């Protein structure tokens, strides 16, 4: 088996398991956690992949996100990958919270310094699903994707760049227009270089303009008390303005009064997002 089991805990009739494996995409050891519902003991189950935000690992949402209860309710698995390679040893990768370690931004880097290891787009869209579906009882034909902040950006671009791969997509406070906000400008310059035309390939708002795949249902939640929303780091309105004119993007965009950017916000609305995914995974 290509996966090394690190630990496991019984939860809601199923199991939360953490695995490590050698990644060909990042040339490092990668870690992910997965909740397998009771149904996975006898058959393959659909799954939701959750992409985390800046500074997070696989364990943040696993311990704080309130996901296992609602995944168990629907008999679906919940997969939480890490946010970047770890221990690549690249000069400067540990100098700031919003670039480098813990901040892979779900792109395939093209700058010489980062292109060997920082290939989180390929890891999430190709390598990890292939590994999950070959080594665990997961149904590759029934999967959805969600994420928070940087991971919300990741979830949206994965679904938009791979039409038909995911039954649905959702996001909690996504960085929805990274080319136009400080977080995205810093990350894209470091990973993709100065040419801003290359950034569009990893920008949900730009990708939505030309999306021509099958109908993609999308749910986005944004807290009104989110400090990063107030600082114009997220820009969900930009994405919504484009999506409303695309017949094959069915976006439900909601503002959550008083909620911030934390896992209190995520835990509150996790049930809604897993209900949303399950609606399409069970068809």
Kindly report, residue by residue over 224-236, the tens digit of the pLDDT. Answer: 999 999 999 999 9
Specify the pLDDT at position 283: 83
Catalytic residue among 82, 203, 221, 226: 226
Active-site annotation holds for 149: yes
Active-site annotation holds for 195: no
Per the model's pLDDT, the better-predicted residue between 283 and 17 turns out to be 17
Exposed / middle / buried, residue 233 (Cβ in 10 Å: 0-12, 13-18, 19+): buried
Q: How far is 85 from 87, CA to CA, in rounded Å?
A: 7
Q: How far is 205 from 243, CA to CA, in rounded Å?
A: 8
Q: What is the mean pLDDT of residues 193-206?
A: 97
- Nearest CA to 121 out of 175, 62, 81 is that of 81
Catalytic residue among 74, 148, 177, 261: 261
Helices (H), ranges, the chain:
58-64, 68-74, 120-122, 128-135, 150-161, 182-192, 204-208, 227-230, 236-243, 263-281
Catalytic residue among 67, 149, 168, 170: 149
- As given in the structure block, the two tokens for residue 44 are 């393959």
Q: How confident is the model at residue 80 (pLDDT cuts 50, 70, 90)?
A: very high
- The pLDDT tens digits for 16-73 are 999 999 999 999 999 999 999 999 999 999 999 999 999 999 999 999 999 999 999 9
Exposed / middle / buried, residue 119 (Cβ in 10 Å: 0-12, 13-18, 19+): buried
Helix, coil or strand: residue 114: coil
Q: Is the pLDDT confidence value at 167 over 90?
A: yes
Q: Is the pLDDT confidence value at 1 over 80?
A: no
Helix, coil or strand: residue 211: coil
- As given in the structure block, the two tokens for residue 260 are 């911030």
Active-site annotation holds for 261: yes
Helix, coil or strand: residue 65: coil
pTM: 0.98
Specify the pLDDT at position 122: 98
Q: How far is 94 from 213, CA to CA, in rounded Å?
A: 38
DSSP state for residue 195 in the 8-state scheme: -
């Amino acid at each position: 088996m290509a996966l090394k089991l690190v630990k496991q805990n019984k939860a809601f009739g199923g199991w939360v398991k953490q695995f490590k494996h050698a990644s060909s995409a990042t040339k490092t050891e990668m870690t992910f956690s997965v909740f397998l519902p009771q149904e996975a003991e006898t058959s393959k189950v659909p799954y939701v992949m959750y992409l985390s935000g800046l500074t997070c690992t696989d364990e943040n949402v696993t311990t704080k996100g309130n996901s296992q209860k609602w995944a168990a309710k629907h008999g679906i698995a919940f997969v939480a990958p890490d946010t970047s390679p770890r221990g690549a040893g690249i000069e400067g990768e540990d100098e700031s919270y919003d670039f480098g370690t813990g901040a892979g931004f779900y792109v395939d880097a093209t700058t010489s310094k980062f292109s060997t290891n920082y290939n989180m787009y390929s890891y999430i869209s190709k390598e990890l699903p292939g590994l999950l579906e070959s080594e665990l009882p997961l149904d590759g034909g029934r999967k959805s994707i969600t994420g928070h902040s940087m991971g919300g950006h990741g979830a949206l671009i994965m679904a938009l760049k791979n039409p038909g791969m995911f039954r649905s997509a959702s996001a909690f406070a996504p960085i929805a227009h990274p080319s136009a906000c400080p977080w995205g400008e810093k990350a894209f310059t470091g990973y993709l270089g100065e040419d801003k035309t290359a950034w569009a390939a990893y920008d949900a708002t730009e990708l939505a303009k030309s999306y021509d795949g099958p109908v993609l249902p999308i749910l986005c939640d944004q807290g009104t008390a989110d400090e990063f929303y107030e600082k114009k780091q997220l820009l969900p309105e930009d994405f919504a303005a484009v999506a409303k004119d695309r017949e094959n993007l069915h976006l439900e965009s909601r503002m959550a009064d008083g909620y911030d950017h934390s896992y209190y916000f995520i835990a509150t609305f996790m049930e809604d997002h897993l209900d949303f995914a399950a609606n399409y995974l069970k068809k």
